[in-house]
Structure 1
Amino acid sequence: MSDVPERSAVEPVVLERALRDLAVPIALLDGADPHLPVVWVNRAFEVSTGYDAADARRHQRDPVPPGARRPDALLAVREAVRERREVTQTLSLRRADGSVYTCLVHLSPLVDADDRITHWVAALQDLTERISHDAAQSALVAAERRERRALGIVAQVSDLLMDVDDRMTPLHEIATLLCDTIVGWARFYVNDGGLRPADGIDSNHPPSGKGRRHGAPTRSVEPGADTTPGPDAVQMLLDGVKDRPVELPLDGWFPRGSASSWLAAHVHAQGPHELVDGAARAAVFSVSGRRRVLGLLVVLPRAGRGLDGLEQSARTVLELTARRVGLVIDNARLYDREHRLAETLQRAMLPQQADVDGLDVWTYYAPNSENVQVGGDWYDVLQISPDVVGVVIGDVVGHDVEAAAAMGQLRSVVRSYAYDITIPGPVLERVDQLVAGMRIPRSAGLVLSTLTRSGGSWRLDYSRAGHLPVLHVREGEVIALMEGGGPLIGFGGEGRSTQTLALEPGDVLVYYTDGLIERRDRGLREGIDALTEVVGGVTARDSAGIGEEILSRLADHPEDDVAVVVVRVPDPRDHLERGRSPRRRRWSLPSEPSSIGRARHAVVRTCHAWDMPNAANAELVVSELVANAVLHGFGHVSLQLYDTGDGLRIEVEDGNPAPPIATDGHPGRVGGFGIKIVERLADWGWRPSARGKLVWAKVRPGDLPPSAR
């Protein structure tokens, strides 16, 4: 017999009370009526809907607003009632206050002993809170997705801006990126003496700057239209009067010749028809540098409603893009100005290579590219008198403008005293005294030497002030001239000595700075030994060939500025062994018009030294190529000459990657005639290089064509 007490039956009153107090809204529907009228509800139902049983029955068939109707769910409920089975569906119900809410309805039949459905029990679950929570979560997910997309766009813009320069090559790519992601159309405009498209399209009628006319509008005005000029908001943005984005109605009427009028006409002509037709409004963002507005970013939202058509995340992306473009462009221009200033300063302080009577002299200077094209190394070759030549090479500590300024001061002082006193030791003593009084902030070392001609021979006098020794080469034997040494300039209080060496025909002197030989993995002593070995193995019979061979073996990856001077005493036997020369020459020229004449002079001298006929052809080709590099390129110009055995190969390198273009007779195209001349005289081509581009030409043998003279 079981010990579990027998449970008593639950009284109906208790069941009714339990259902009435249940927290879940419950309604009992009459199963005998096909319309299932409500016959009973519990308290939770009354609280949730505001209806008691009578009110619920009376308003049971009230329609809900069309937007809240769920016809598929109602159809499923009717189908389940007809099939006498349970059903659960999401329905929209109306409360007593007229509001509509969403709830989950579970409908179950009550069957009597005769298998008849007497009632249906409807249990309701209010989904309002869950839907609100889901909507909030969806909104958060959408916001996070927009933020991620915005960050991705900004990151891509940053990647594109890594290659920006003053010519703004990546701006078209950035505008394309914006079009592909957040706006319908985008373009950058440059404020550089007036507005113009940054990619150079449609620049036939560019505006001419602040306070000047920008050309008349090109769009016609409908009869009866309001022609009252609106404010020139674009000019206010360019002038810095406004610092927030502005809207530009493309169908607006602006003052004649205003920036807004010109820009609206340009955007109307260039933008997609589906965006510019009607009452489209462009959004204009300023591209600002540190001190002025450099340009504009103009976009057409896909909705065509100006700033109102942009989501906040899209607007943030556009503002960040415009700001970053402005700062990067400003930095690029500032760097370019400093770079050109430093390079001009450095080149101005170095002498132009010139012929020295009775000696074969070759000079070379290259700053370390990491040091903004400026440093403290220098050289000087002085024709003091017809029979006296001075050669100086020195190095000021540092790689900045201050070092270059100190170098310029020292060079001027040494030059002045060398013309007055031709003995190196006393010259350096005077320099010591003056430098101590001038308080030059940088220490410096140098070698000063004079070569004096007496009859048919030369004598070398030299003195060193804390600088590396000159190498003397005779018949393949290399000797470092260690004598005549002393402390750095400004520290020589006990006088300077002068050493003398008689030179013979064929002797070579190599002056250099530490950038040629010093590396992180070796010291100066090892560097001098390496240079000695290279110089001893040189086979060239002229100073340029010797210098080029030294550079090819030692100056491929310099870690500092490099200055080299090679002086050779001519030997009457040179013409017998000229074939031993490597037949390669190189010059580094500043990007200025005077370099064209220097290049012409250099190629003529080289052709004569190599016994190459028809130097006039090569001179004209070099003149045209260097002129193109100076006029259309940027950065210093590299000129190289090669004797290929069947002609002269010329290579000119500059920092502009754009290829040279020959004129094709187009009336609007300027320039390109020089390439036509080159085509008459040589086979030519070009290729990209690490710095920009390299244009080469191989001069054909033969006389100069009459049409090219």
Structure 2
Amino acid sequence: MVNTPGTTRTSGSVEEAPTDPPVGPSTGPSTAPVTDVVEPPSTTLLARALEATIVPYAMCEAGDLRIVWANAAFEQTMGYDAAGARERQRHPIPEAARRHGEMAALRARLAQGEPTTAELSIPRADGSLFPCRVHFAPVDEPDDRPADTPGTPARGPAHWIVAFEDRSERVSHDEQQAALVEAERRERRSVGIIVQVSDLLMDVTDRATPLHEIATLLRRSVVSWAAFYVNDGGLRPVDATSDVRPPSGRGSRHGEHRRPDGGDVEHAPQDAVQQLLDGDRDRPVELALDREYPRASASHWLVERVALESGVDGPDSAFVVPVPGRRRVIGVLVVVPRPEAGGRLEESTTTVLELIARRVGLVLDNARLYDREHRLAETLQRAMLPQQAEVDGLDVWTYYAPNSENAQVGGDWYDVLQIEQDVVGVVIGDVVGHDVEAAAAMGQLRSVVRSYAYDVTLPGPVLERVDQLVAGMRIPRAAGLVLSTLHRLGERWLLRWSRAGHLPVLHVRGGEVSQLLGAGGPLVGFGNGRRATAELELEPGDVLVYHTDGLVERRDRDLREGLDALSRVVSGVTARDSAGIGEELLSRLADHPEDDVAVVVVRVPDPRDVAERGRSPRRRRWSLPSEAASVGRARHAVVRTCHAWEMPDASNAELVVSELVANAVLHGYGHVSLQLYDTGDGLRIEVEDGNPAPPVTTDGHPGRVGGFGMQIVERLADWGWRQSSRGKVVWAKVRPGALPPTGR
């Protein structure tokens, strides 16, 4: 018998049996029934599958989520099994793994009995964290009662099956991206700080203001507190005026100190801050603020300053960054880190601080080099300029000032010579340049002209001899000048002059102004023949105005326009004395000169002169060297001015100015500026010096003479003081009728 496929034969009968699903395309209709029913795997097989999968799985009880089972992948990933997991669940969650908001939201969702997912970080056995996405699915227990039977409360799941999806790579990627973003933010912040510091340093001098602004910028951006201290014979705040400073030189002053009981000298530990100042270290130094340092050390001084000035509650340490100059450390930058930084400085912050310190050091060093050159040139130049001239029979006023915008010093100069009893020489000149070389050339030229003027007298021949000598001396700078002599002729004077490439002198008579253009010639040293001499007879009331080009030269006009403007101003002056004329010229033309300015005003007195108060500025100014002789010069200037202005109480004014100038010479530095003003109801005296410290009234110096100066000023005048660009101005207005002190 042939068996037919798809059938079985039993007991002589044929039964239809289920056929296998066709494999491949069907070739025709099939009459055999087809079924897709597949018998599900057994529970044992499912358990073995969960155990074998490489994805960590665990089962936990509902409610407290206590783990009751975990597969091998879970144990391999975490380093502990289900029992270990239950043990760890009894311990507090580590701080780094806590996500209070996420866990609260997770428990709320689980209470609904619905599948849910959460982002968690689970501690491993080695202490590291396993960042994962945790998927919860409810597992119901078999129950005879349907969960949705009417009238019965809904039951939640008894267990949760939990799958742990590894998120380490994603978290690592996110952390890298966050780190890159943070690094870029820090870099942008650092660049921004450097740019702002560069802007602040654009016009820095040796003043304190830009350094204070930089310290404020650092406090706003990267540290809790910051301050600069300069190393001038010892550390001091940038605006300090006290002479109580720690020593900063090398040697035993910082290496040893006396024992508290007065015993032998002990060797102090190495002072790290002093090593910075000495150049033995070049990286920032951490300064512990709770340590005791030797009292003679720079560290001790800095710790006291930080405690006094920082205003930061309980910092543990500060960091000291050297501010290097070209040849030495010229100061330090001291900072206190922010509390959130744990008392440390980030590497990026340290880099910013070091860059700022280097820039500040370079700019300060340049400013100091320039300032030293400027002071040297100014001292050299002023030492060669005569003081306010006193000439019998003539009213003479002189003035010199360097460029007010850039404080440059150049070769402008003037000279007033009493050649003979009835012969006066007046010279004004200008050497090209604004530096020490120009000032030195001016000094040489001034000495040559002065020597020949006393010997020859006539201006033209004097300049001929000057040409010869200057050509042999090879003075490196070109120069121009006007040399004139005035010879007394009773009440009149005969003016003779010769010009060597310089602007003409202005002559004023009866309000008419003329330029003395005659006797012109080339610059000094370039004359190759005879130089001419011109003459003019001066009458009582005539005025001569000698000046350098700084009085009239401006960027927005040519020199001829400047001379015309000067002529118009001179013609309108109403003052009847040379000082009043000069002050009015300066007030209208020299408020902001673009070059050095030297002016000499000579007036032939007129017996018919009548004082005219209020019609012109009544101000006098003198620049005095910081030396004892300046006190006498100031007293003489005040007495002469009071007599010229017909002011009473000249003796009181003389005493007040004596005390103010003496204080400026003793306690200030730099040149002393004296200015006198007629206020209409009295005399106002102003004395300026380079020390910004205010004057102090004392009860005298115990054990020695002196110390009563400001008490004398208080008896005779109303006084006060104010800060200035150079330092300070002390002013006093003399009280009319005040009685001078009779004793001390």
Match of 1:638, SS state, is strand
Q: Is the 8 A contact 1:193 1:210 kept in 2?
A: no
Match of 1:286, SS state, is strand
Q: How does 1:331-350 map to 2 (within 5 A)?
A: 331-350=366-385
Matched, 1:357 2:392: yes
The 1:78/1:241 distance shift into structure 2, 3 A limit, reads closer
Partner of 1:586: 620
Partner of 1:475: 510
Of 198, 211, 223, which residue of structure 1 is paired with 2:251?
211
Match of 2:742, SS state, is helix
Report the Cα offset of residue 374 of structure 1.
Answer: 0.9
Deviations 1:606-631 (A, max 9, x none): 22222333322222222223333444
The 1:218/1:669 distance shift into structure 2, 3 A limit, reads farther
Report the Cα offset of residue 415 of structure 1.
Answer: 1.0
1-structure distance, mates of 2:384, 2:297: 45
Q: Which moved more, 1:162-171 or 1:685-694?
A: 162-171
Report the Cα offset of residue 383 of structure 1.
Answer: 0.7
Partner of 1:240: 279
Match of 2:374, SS state, is helix
The 1:210/1:609 distance shift into structure 2, 3 A limit, reads same
1-structure distance, mates of 2:111, 2:561: 103
For 1:469, the aligned partner's letter is P
For 1:240, the aligned partner's letter is G
Of 136, 143, 162, which residue of structure 2 is paired with 1:107?
136
Match of 1:381, SS state, is strand
Deviations 1:523-580 (A, max 9, x none): 2222222222222222222211222222222222322221111111222222x45558
Partner of 1:401: 436
The 1:487/1:708 distance shift into structure 2, 3 A limit, reads farther
Q: Is the 8 A contact 2:247 2:296 kept in 1?
A: no
Greater gyration radius: 2
For 1:206, the aligned partner's letter is P
Match of 1:352, SS state, is coil
1-structure distance, mates of 2:158, 2:303: 78
Q: Is the 8 A contact 1:165 1:333 kept in 2?
A: yes
2-structure distance, mates of 1:365, 1:393: 11
Deviations 1:459-485 (A, max 9, x none): 111111222221222222222211111
Of 279, 283, 294, which residue of structure 1 is paired with 2:330?
294
Deviations 1:111-168 (A, max 9, x none): 8998578996654422222222333334444445555555566667667767876575
Structure 1: tracts of 5 or more residues without a match: 1-6, 222-226
Q: How does 1:300-699 map to 2 (within 5 A)?
A: 309-574=344-609, 576-577=610-611, 579=613, 582=616, 584-593=618-627, 594-663=629-698, 673-689=708-724, 692-699=727-734
For 2:171, the aligned partner's letter is I
Q: Is the 8 A contact 2:675 2:685 kept in 1?
A: yes
Q: Which moved more, 1:195-204 or 1:692-701?
A: 195-204
Q: Is the 8 A contact 1:207 1:215 kept in 2?
A: no
The 1:140/1:475 distance shift into structure 2, 3 A limit, reads same
For 2:323, the aligned partner's letter is V
Match of 1:369, SS state, is coil
The 1:58/1:517 distance shift into structure 2, 3 A limit, reads closer
TM-score, normalisation: structure 2: 0.77
Q: Which moved more, 1:154-163 or 1:424-433?
A: 154-163
RMSD: 4.8
Partner of 1:259: 297
2-structure distance, mates of 1:635, 1:663: 24
The 1:526/1:323 distance shift into structure 2, 3 A limit, reads closer
Q: Is the 8 A contact 1:275 1:302 kept in 2?
A: no
Structure 2: tracts of 5 or more residues without a match: 1-33, 148-156
Partner of 1:135: 175
Match of 1:394, SS state, is strand
Match of 1:88, SS state, is strand
Q: How does 1:73-152 map to 2 (within 5 A)?
A: 84-91=113-120, 101-109=130-138, 122-147=162-187
For 2:404, the aligned partner's letter is S
1-structure distance, mates of 2:612, 2:83: 120
Match of 1:651, SS state, is strand
Q: Is the 8 A contact 1:662 1:676 kept in 2?
A: yes
For 2:250, the aligned partner's letter is K
Q: Is the 8 A contact 2:254 2:271 kept in 1?
A: no
Aligned residues: 683
2-structure distance, mates of 1:462, 1:36: 115
Q: Is the 8 A contact 2:470 2:525 kept in 1?
A: yes
TM-score, normalisation: structure 1: 0.80
Report the Cα offset of residue 230 of structure 1.
Answer: 3.6
Identity %: 65
